[in-house]
């Protein structure tokens, strides 16, 4: 039987898989590009700038500052002259328009029109400094809002630094895990070869396999933590939640450390809480002046112009309207405030004293905070030195046992224990370096110079 193939159909059949393969390759390329676009390596400086630029909290803080500035401007406006212009029309219908007075009756018109225009301008000349103190008070509140924004900025910066270091710790730990898995895999391969040669028992092989399983469990926990921290950091930085972040190498564990007193002195000059309490003390002093101003007289000048027209035509015509103009000065004194103000003054002075006491308490708390952060940083540095020595010792011990194991002098258990000690020391060192870096920034934050 002869079978003929239709070449046209054959070509047509080949077109479908070729197109499918082309589309698949194109999609794979797009997916690959998308995946690579979602990976991002950041330095700490880049992360801080990105987080501050995209912070919703800082935008809200700026909104509060704008509101405080607006209130200050409104207070300034109260010191400006006030003016008013009005124009009124009245029409009167008089059904009974005759008044009888004997032989001389008075006859009124059946209706009457009246136009009244008023323009006035007034200015307070003296009010005991009330407007001046009001402006000072609102200016102080504006400056307090600005310090609140600075505190928010420091807090957000610290949160970014904290998450950045947490991610760094996880990534470094994962590197150590990966390195240890490679080492254990080599040991499993070697022990399996020794087992095949009858040099070790099956238990020796299982020991290394169990060790690998334990390290893998650690890796699973680390990956879960990485995803959580990565997501939190994406939110803080305003990045898409699917962005996978990588951390550039950080070498900030060994910062120059000054005396404790220097950090306390810096905090006294830079901590926003202390600056705010100084401003609140000024606000309390201004409030006392404002209350005192209530006992002083006030003097105001005013000017007014009137247009009165009783004709039916609102346009001025000679003889049909009058335009009186007034100028006056008004002095007023609420002398009852002389005996009603004393309790208000007493309350204002108590509030001022409370601010001074609160500043002392805040300063003590800041000193305690700085001392604690200072000691934590010293401890972190000492841990690094100790762990570096531990790694050297663990590495030397591991090398000795590796040599003994190859010579069939040490057991697989001894070798596995040595590997575990080295593995743990490496992880601890990476974590200690990250802890030291974060401890330094914590100390810097407590001085108020995190963003300075």
How much is the average pLDDT of 384-390? 89
pLDDT band at 409 (very low <50, low <70, confident <90, very high): confident
How much is the average pLDDT of 162-188? 87
pLDDT band at 227 (very low <50, low <70, confident <90, very high): very high
What pLDDT is recorded for position 200? 74
pLDDT band at 358 (very low <50, low <70, confident <90, very high): very high
Find which of 330-339, 384-393, 406-415 is predicted with most confidence, using mean pLDDT.
384-393
pLDDT at 12 > cutoff 60: no
pLDDT band at 25 (very low <50, low <70, confident <90, very high): low
pLDDT at 296 > cutoff 50: yes
Residues in the chain: 452
Find which of 198-202, 235-239, 329-333 is predicted with most confidence, using mean pLDDT.
235-239
201 vs 251, more confident: 201
What pLDDT is recorded for position 11? 39
Average predicted confidence (pLDDT) for the chain: 83
Cβ 252 vs Cβ 437: under 8 Å:
yes
Tokens at 284, concatenated = 């309390």
pLDDT at 32 > cutoff 80: no
User: What's the pTM?
Assistant: 0.75
pLDDT at 34 > cutoff 90: no
pLDDT at 10 > cutoff 60: no
How much is the average pLDDT of 134-152? 88
Lowest mean pLDDT among 39-53, 68-82, 245-259: 245-259
What pLDDT is recorded for position 373? 95
What pLDDT is recorded for position 229? 93
Tokens at 17, concatenated = 């898989």
440 vs 77, more confident: 440
What pLDDT is recorded for position 9? 43
Find which of 164-168, 250-254, 307-311 is predicted with most confidence, using mean pLDDT.
164-168
441 vs 412, more confident: 441
**φ, ψ for residue 449, nearest 5 deg:** -115, 25
65 vs 100, more confident: 65
pLDDT digits (tens, 9 = 90+) for 243-290: 999 887 776 556 778 899 999 999 999 999 999 999 999 999 998 988
How much is the average pLDDT of 424-450? 89
Cβ 241 vs Cβ 231: under 8 Å:
yes
pLDDT at 321 > cutoff 80: no
How much is the average pLDDT of 126-139? 82
22 vs 52, more confident: 52
Quote the percentage of the chain above a pLDDT of 70: 90
What pLDDT is recorded for position 6? 43
Query: Which single residue is written with the structure tokens 């708390």?
Result: 365
What pLDDT is recorded for position 33? 44
For the chain, how are helix, strand and coil distributed in percent, rounded to 5? 65, 15, 20
- For residues 444 and 266, give the distance between their C-alpha atoms in angstroms, rounded to a whole number: 10
Which residues lie below 8 Å from residue 305, measured CB to CB, with a gap of 6+?
118, 119, 120, 323, 324, 325, 326
Pairing mode of beta strands 98-99, 106-107: antiparallel
User: Any idea what DSSP says for residue 447?
Assistant: T
Beta-strand runs (E) in 94-151 = 98-99, 106-107, 111-126
Lowest mean pLDDT among 72-86, 217-231, 369-383, 414-428: 414-428
What pLDDT is recorded for position 446? 94
What pLDDT is recorded for position 419? 79
């Amino acid at each position: 039987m002869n079978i003929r193939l239709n070449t046209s159909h054959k070509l047509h059949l080949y077109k479908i898989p070729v197109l499918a393969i082309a589309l698949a390759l194109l999609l794979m390329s797009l997916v690959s590009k998308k995946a690579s676009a979602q990976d991002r390596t950041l330095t700490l400086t880049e992360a801080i700038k990105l987080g501050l630029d995209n912070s919703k909290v800082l935008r809200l803080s700026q909104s509060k500052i704008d509101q405080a500035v607006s209130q200050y401007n409104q207070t300034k406006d109260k010191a400006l002259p006030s003016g008013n212009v009005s124009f009124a029309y009245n029409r009167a219908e008089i059904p009974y328009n005759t008044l009888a007075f004997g032989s001389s009756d008075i006859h009124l018109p059946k209706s009457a029109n009246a136009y009244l225009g008023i323009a006035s301008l007034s200015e307070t000349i003296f009010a005991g400094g009330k407007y001046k103190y009001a402006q000072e008070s609102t200016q102080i509140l504006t400056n307090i809002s600005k310090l609140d924004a600075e505190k928010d900025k420091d807090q957000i910066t610290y949160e970014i630094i904290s998450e950045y270091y947490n991610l760094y710790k996880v990534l470094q730990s994962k590197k150590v895990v990966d390195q240890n898995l490679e080492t254990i895999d080599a040991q499993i391969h070697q022990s399996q070869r020794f087992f095949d040669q009858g040099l070790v028992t099956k238990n020796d092989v299982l020991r290394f396999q169990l060790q690998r399983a334990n390290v893998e469990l650690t890796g699973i926990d680390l990956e879960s933590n990485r995803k959580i921290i990565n997501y939190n950091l994406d939110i803080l930085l305003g990045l898409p939640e699917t962005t996978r972040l990588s951390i550039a190498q950080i070498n900030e564990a060994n910062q120059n450390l000054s005396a404790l007193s220097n950090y306390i002195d810096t905090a006294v000059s830079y901590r926003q809480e202390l600056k705010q309490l100084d401003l609140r003390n000024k606000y309390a002093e201004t409030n006392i002046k404002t209350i005192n101003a209530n006992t002083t007289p006030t003097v105001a000048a005013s000017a007014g112009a009137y247009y009165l027209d009783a004709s039916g035509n609102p346009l001025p015509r000679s003889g049909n309207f009058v335009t009186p103009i007034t100028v006056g000065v008004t002095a007023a004194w609420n002398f009852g405030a002389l005996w009603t103000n004393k309790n208000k003054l007493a309350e204002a002075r108590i509030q001022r004293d409370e601010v001074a006491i609160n500043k002392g308490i805040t300063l003590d708390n800041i000193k305690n905070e700085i001392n604690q952060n200072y000691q934590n940083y010293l401890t972190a540095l000492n841990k690094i030195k100790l762990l570096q020595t531990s790694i050297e010792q663990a590495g030397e011990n591991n090398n000795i046992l590796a040599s003994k194991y190859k010579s069939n002098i040490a057991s697989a258990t001894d070798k596995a224990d040595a590997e575990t000690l080295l593995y743990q020391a490496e992880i601890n060192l990476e974590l200690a370096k990250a802890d030291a870096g974060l401890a330094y920034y914590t100390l810097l934050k407590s001085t108020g110079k995190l963003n300075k």
